Amino acid sequence: MSSNILDDLLNSVRQFLVDVGVGLNPLTIGVTLFVLLFPPLILFVLALNQKDAPFSPPPGCRKFGLVGKSNLSDQYSKRYAEGGDPCAANRWTVKALFIYPIKSCARLELDQSEVVRTGLKFDRQFTFAQQVTGLPTMEGKVESEWTFITQRTFPRLAKVETEIWIPDPKAPGYSEQEEYVKSEGCLLVRFPFTPDTEFTVEGLKSYGKILAAWMSGKPEPMMEFRVPFNPTQERIKEARYRSAEVKIWREKPVALDMANEVPVDTMEKLRYTLGITNPITLFRIDPQNYRQVHKCAPKSQDVGFQPVVGMADSYPLHILNLASVHDVASKLPKGPKRLNALRYRANVYMTGPPAFSEDDWAKARIGDGLYHISCRTTRCKLPNVDPETAVADRNEPGTTMRKHRVIDKGSKSPCLGMQVTPLTQGEIRVGDEIEVLEKGEHFFKSE
Ligand SMILES: *[C@@H]1O[C@H](CO)[C@@H](O)[C@H](O)[C@H]1NC(C)=O
């Protein structure tokens, strides 16, 4: 096969040289071949160059999260449809754990996590926002406000990956003075960006980047930036962070604008990747100013603390029963795709309970922790976005859920999974046992 291609190439070169009348001597053949092969060679060298660009781990930190195969890799197995996991002696257990460090961006899988007031420690402390400007008023005033963005309107957010790096005295470069050590670690953000390709030096380098991505198995080149996970007051002053109101549903918490930690050019490329016309930035919830949760959360006079969240939609923690997902899947119209439980973006995936048994849970023990099961999770269209392709590929599972899962008297939306408020702080691990302590009625409240 390859010798055929070479023969063809040599034959065409011979023919070409005969046609232009310079004759068939080794020198002219050599020069012509060189001219033909030079551009691909340059590209190849450029690609190798890109591939070798060193990725430097944040100093003093190690990568956080599950290493190896996902705990949901066998999620489609029929044995999870029934409830009662034969592998776990019919115990009800935590099957998998996930965080979404930036609201509406890609997930990160864990095998254990610290549980804090706002839920899993690194979950949804950040959100991207766009600056929306209204039309001028009669007096000619123009006002703008920062508004959170989600996959509902910008599905390409699913392509924005995050890593969490946490301080570790054994990690290279560790010192108490290191910025990321002082700020409880580092959030690393990575997104696909295909640079312009044109016939200039920069353009050729872009070809190199694309080829490098392709050689390392990625469909597109990736760009990255890093920000401190929980910046110190010192850092906030030094880098001149600004605080601004950011609109999340009906709330407007004052949050930290992380823009000064991100090169302007990088943020612009991200904006292009997401397909947004307005200016964008990354906000972090201000730990001095968490959003209070009222609605169906436990009352502070009953539990001794005010339930709060970071950038989550409504409650600190979201749990989902794999048997319930299997049940919804069994009712979907026949199609080429299976229902990926990851579409529902839960924190805790559990196995054991029969489908929908969680609908009337009120209080549970998971591992050593106590949890208030605050209300049912009402579902918008977001699960219609395929987390692997970032495309809202069909109106499912939304349509099927509207037929079968409008079950809460307080809401017209379909429900799946439960919203949870931790009553204790501590740890949660994959494999932890789940025990229901109380059951009760639920009635969804939107405010
Ligand atoms: C999932 O979690 C358990 C418990 O931590 C672990 O032993 C198991 O190997 C994990 N992996 C997979 C692929 O299920």
pLDDT in tens, the chain (447 residues): 455 666 877 787 777 777 777 666 777 777 777 777 777 777 666 666 554 444 788 999 999 999 999 999 999 999 898 876 555 567 899 999 999 999 999 999 999 999 999 999 999 999 999 999 888 888 888 889 999 999 888 989 999 999 999 999 999 999 999 999 999 999 999 999 987 666 666 666 676 777 777 777 777 788 999 999 999 999 999 999 999 999 998 899 999 999 999 999 999 999 999 999 999 999 999 999 999 999 899 999 999 999 999 999 999 999 999 999 999 999 988 877 789 999 999 999 999 999 999 999 999 999 999 999 999 999 877 787 888 777 776 788 888 888 888 888 888 889 899 999 999 999 999 999 999 999 999 888 887
**The pLDDT of residue 176:** 94
CA of 384 to the centre of ligand 1 (A): 28
pTM equals 0.84
Query: Atom 9 (ligand 1): residue with closest C-alpha?
Result: 71
CA of 156 to the centre of ligand 1 (A): 30
DSSP 26: H
Contacts of 4 (CB under 8 A, 6+ apart): none
Is 364 in contact with 436 (CB distance < 8 Å)?
yes
CA of 95 to the centre of ligand 1 (A): 8
Query: Atom 12 (ligand 1): residue with closest C-alpha?
Result: 71
CA of 427 to the centre of ligand 1 (A): 17
Three-state DSSP state, 6: helix
Three-state DSSP state, 411: coil
Query: Atom 1 (ligand 1): residue with closest C-alpha?
Result: 71
Please list every protein residue whose CB sits less than 6 Å from any atom of ligand 1. 69, 71, 73, 111, 430-431
What's the N-to-C CA distance of the chain in angstroms?
69
CA of 71 to the centre of ligand 1 (A): 6
Q: Which of 290, 294, 222, 225 is nearest to 256 (CA)?
A: 290
Query: Do you find a cis peptide bond into 397, omega within 30 degrees of 0?
Result: yes
Query: Atom 14 (ligand 1): residue with closest C-alpha?
Result: 71
State how beta strands 144-148 and 242-247 pair. parallel
Query: Which of 73, 109, 430 is the best mutation target for the ligand 1 pocket, counting ligand atoms within 8 Å of the beta carbon and taking the most?
Result: 430
Query: Which of 66, 67, 70, 71 is the best mutation target for the ligand 1 pocket, counting ligand atoms within 8 Å of the beta carbon and taking the most?
Result: 71
CA of 404 to the centre of ligand 1 (A): 32
- Distance, in Å, from the CA atom of 231 to the CA atom of 196, rounded to the nearest integer, reads 35
Nearest atom within ligand 1 for CA of residue 69: 13
Residue with tokens 């949901």: 72
Nearest atom within ligand 1 for CA of residue 430: 5
CA of 68 to the centre of ligand 1 (A): 9
CA of 318 to the centre of ligand 1 (A): 21
CA of 73 to the centre of ligand 1 (A): 10
Query: Atom 10 (ligand 1): residue with closest C-alpha?
Result: 71
Nearest atom within ligand 1 for CA of residue 431: 4
